[in-house]
Amino acid sequence: MALPQAWHQRLRLPAVAAPMTDVSGPDLVIAAAVHGIIGTFPTHNAKSTDELDAWLSHIAAATKRTDSVSSPVAPVGANLVVHRSNARLSGDLDCLLRHRPEIVITSVGSPAAVIGPLHDAGILVLADVASLRHAYKAIESGVDGLVLLSAGAGGQTGWANPVSFVRALRNDYDGILVLAGGISDGHGVLAARAAGADLAYLGTRFIATTESLASAEYRQAVVEATLDDIVSSVQVSGLSANVLRSWLEAHGVTQAPPTGLDGNTHTGFAQDRLLAQPNVWAAGHSVSGIDAVLDISVLAERLAHEYQQAQDLLLQAPVNGISRRWR
């Protein structure tokens, strides 16, 4: 589809380790990339723009590409909150322009103002969207692709059915589509591809890894949870976000506030509000597919095996009693 051709040889499977507040740091990004999965992190996880500068330098050095076909390194990227409440927007953007990661994912607001500078620096720009209206606005602004936040995504979430969301856009959009929402294994990655997405976004699955910034208690809570333990709330940032019920109850919130028909009850996003609540236990419906805390090397091997297994199952599937090869 729309992925840069050179990436196909660099990806072990078409997946992104999604950027997660208080979870994604240099160790996670590096481990994902060297094992063939796109690694990303939010710039605000670095406590200052100076620390962001150091993180980007460290990540670049650790993921320096080689010509080795046997050990390709996947692209890495950063997530930039472009909302007007982000006091570090200008400084973090300048930092990204100096370091030139291959990808920047914009969130919470129009990417229009940052696309020009990022493109001039040779950076591919994706935008988080949770509705068709925002998707088409992002397309009009000139993004290279979209991250579709669908029902079941951890943290900031969407309301749309994931397959319907992909199909509604793929019919007339040939840019990069990344599907986010409830994907925890290789079978889910293949399902995203079958629906028409170029890449699958896996966030929650990477919380329960040894390289994540999450606490041991948070990781274990993710392992023990099921999708019935996920609650949508505006408590975290003012936007609908999926979190573990146990975290909400520990903070005095016993149920999610009501949502509108679009599933997005907004009290108004504020970056300071998001950052003022460290160690939020965000998670998505994919918790039901997580049974252990793993090193990313082991997780990557498992995901690749599951992806191949899912392909093999489809190739062997009977149609009208006759086995056919589906490719």
3-state SS assignment for residue 152: coil
Q: Find out whether 165 and 131 touch, Cβ atoms under 8 Å.
A: no
Confidence of residue 325 (pLDDT cuts 50, 70, 90): very low
Q: Find out whether 203 and 20 touch, Cβ atoms under 8 Å.
A: yes
pLDDT, average across residues 126-154: 94
Q: Which domains does the chain have, with CATH numbers?
A: 5-216+282-323 (3.20.20.70)
Q: To the nearest 10°, report the CA torsion of 132, 259, 280, 288.
A: -80
User: What is the predicted pLDDT for the residue at 68?
Assistant: 53
Q: Is the pTM of this model over 0.85?
A: yes
Number of CB atoms found within 10 A of residue 171's CB = 8
Phi, psi of 262 (to 5 degrees): -85, 0
Confidence of residue 247 (pLDDT cuts 50, 70, 90): confident
Q: Is the pLDDT of residue 233 over 80?
A: no
More confident call, 180 vs 249: 180
Q: What is the DSSP annotation of 70-126?
A: SS----EEEEEE-STT-TTHHHHHHHHHHH--SEEEEESS--HHHHHHHHHTT-EEE
Confidence of residue 132 (pLDDT cuts 50, 70, 90): very high
User: What is the predicted pLDDT for the residue at 317?
Assistant: 65
pLDDT, average across residues 36-55: 97
More confident call, 192 vs 265: 192
User: What is the predicted pLDDT for the residue at 228?
Assistant: 93
Least confident of 121-130, 165-174, 233-242: 233-242
Confidence of residue 248 (pLDDT cuts 50, 70, 90): confident
User: What is the predicted pLDDT for the residue at 273?
Assistant: 54
Confidence of residue 297 (pLDDT cuts 50, 70, 90): very high
Q: Is the pLDDT of residue 264 over 50?
A: no
Confidence of residue 242 (pLDDT cuts 50, 70, 90): confident
User: What is the predicted pLDDT for the residue at 130?
Assistant: 93
Strand bridging mode 38-42 / 15-17 = parallel
User: What is the predicted pLDDT for the residue at 316?
Assistant: 80
pLDDT, average across residues 123-151: 96
